């Protein structure tokens, strides 16, 4: 299932929103490239971009949570760590065996994480930031 950006995900924190949109766009690009059976020369740069973007993005959110003394920083951070592990697992399996059903399952896990995290955990953070400007 491809990821669909929805304005419902907007947190009204411009930098976070821009990075979320980029994240969805790139993950969609990755899913597309896998579905179209592109080779590593296409997939590897997308994976490399995403790895870096995920870290940049989590650093931004976690930095904000720290500055604002967000009470749910620890659990939010734990969810971020889970995605980093899930994405690393996807990459490890892709590099080991190329496109496969298992690789698709791993990327679907990333998609599910993202939809749930945006809808629930980041929304909560967005509300907190709005109330504590």
**Contact residues: Fe ion, CB under 5 A:** 61, 122
Residue 61 or residue 103: which is nearer to Fe ion going by CB? 61
Closest CA to 54 of 65, 46, 42, 44: 46
Residue 49 or residue 113: which is nearer to Fe ion going by CB? 113
What is the smallest separation between the CB atom of 76 and Fe ion, expressed in angstroms? Answer: 6
Closest CA to 107 of 57, 49, 32, 38: 32
Residue 79 or residue 89: which is nearer to Fe ion going by CB? 79
What is the smallest separation between the CB atom of 41 and Fe ion, expressed in angstroms? Answer: 31
What is the smallest separation between the CB atom of 45 and Fe ion, expressed in angstroms? Answer: 24
Residue 38 or residue 124: which is nearer to Fe ion going by CB? 124
Residue partners of 86: CB distance under 8 A and separation at least 6: 106, 109, 110, 113
Q: How many residues does the chain have?
A: 133
For residues 105 and 116, give the distance between their C-alpha atoms in angstroms, rounded to a whole number. 16
What is the smallest separation between the CB atom of 58 and Fe ion, expressed in angstroms? Answer: 7
């Amino acid at each position: 299932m491809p990821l669909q950006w929805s304005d419902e995900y907007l947190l009204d924190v411009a930098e976070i929103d821009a990075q979320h949109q980029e994240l969805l766009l790139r993950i969609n690009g990755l899913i597309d490239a896998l579905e179209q059976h592109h080779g590593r020369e296409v997939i590897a740069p997308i994976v490399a971009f995403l790895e870096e973007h995920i870290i940049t993005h989590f650093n931004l959110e976690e930095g904000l949570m720290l500055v604002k003394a967000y009470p749910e920083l620890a659990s939010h951070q734990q969810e971020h760590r889970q995605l980093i592990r899930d994405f690393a697992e996807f990459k490890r399996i892709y590099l080991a065996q190329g496109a496969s059903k298992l690789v698709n399952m791993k990327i679907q896990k990333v998609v599910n994480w993202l939809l749930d995290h945006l809808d629930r955990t980041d929304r909560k953070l967005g509300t907190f930031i709005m109330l504590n400007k």
